[in-house]
Chain A
Amino acid sequence: MARARVQQADFDVGAELEALTRGRSDVGAVASFVGLVRDANDGSSVRGLTLEHYPGMTEKALEDICTQADARWDLQGLVVIHRVGSLVPGDRIVLVGVASAHRGHAFEACEFIMDYLKTRAPFWKREDTSEGTRWVEARASDDAAAQRWK
């Protein structure tokens, strides 16, 4: 199965992380990140959001990020799932799961994947707020977070 998936459907965090270690006993650490839709952003209450993406490029960009993580750290398993379409506060948006022999590699790779995903994977969020709908602006802090891995 591809390590990176883009889908409308929700995902089962437990089942995805379980799949990283099934049938093997050399994994010592699994680190994961789950991103959720918040009910507030930039001072407005958020009723929901729609995630647009660039089909074709999105999958390639995520797979490329996974390949870079594999090259930098000693990883035994990797999964990235990003949802698209309409979501409401509390919904899961993204999952990153990383399996490694030791926790240091797993933690770092997980953070690296999220930092790169935030700045390189072609997704765009449109928020439905109390003041109307608007495209979410990219944050300079996300660029800074990605820069530190250079």
Chain B
Amino acid sequence: MVTLLYFAGLRESLGRSREQVSLPAHGTPTVSLLVESLRSRDAQSAEALAPGKRWRVAVNQQMADLATPVKAGDEIAFFPPVTGG
């Protein structure tokens, strides 16, 4: 299992701030593979994490990208581009 966190507009459009999911059983687990499995799981995730949408990902609180490996126990956060300062 991994913990998924959602922030800001992504949290609002999905209607939840966290969830636990299993990693896909096939292939080497990466952010890309996880995102694909979330997209195929439900229409809301498919919309919120659509390929053309601007979203960012962090793995264990470090900025990451589609190629970043993920493993059981990881904290994976999805959010829009940041707007602090």
Contact = CB atoms under 8 A, between A and B. Distances in A.
- The interface residues of chain A, by DSSP majority, are classed as mixed
A68 B33 CA distance: 32
A136 B7 contact: no
A54 B54 contact: no
B61 A56 contact: yes
Given A124-B8, A135-B8, A138-B54, A54 B61 contact: yes
A57 B75 CA distance: 11
B7 A117 contact: no
A94 interface: yes
Contacts of B81: 119, 137-138
Indicate the size class of the contact surface on chain B: 10 to 19
Given A57-B58, A60-B61, A126-B8, A93 B79 contact: no
Contacts of B61: 54, 56-57, 60-61
B82 interface: yes
Contacts of A122: 7, 58, 77, 79, 82, 84
A52 B7 contact: yes
A118 B54 contact: no
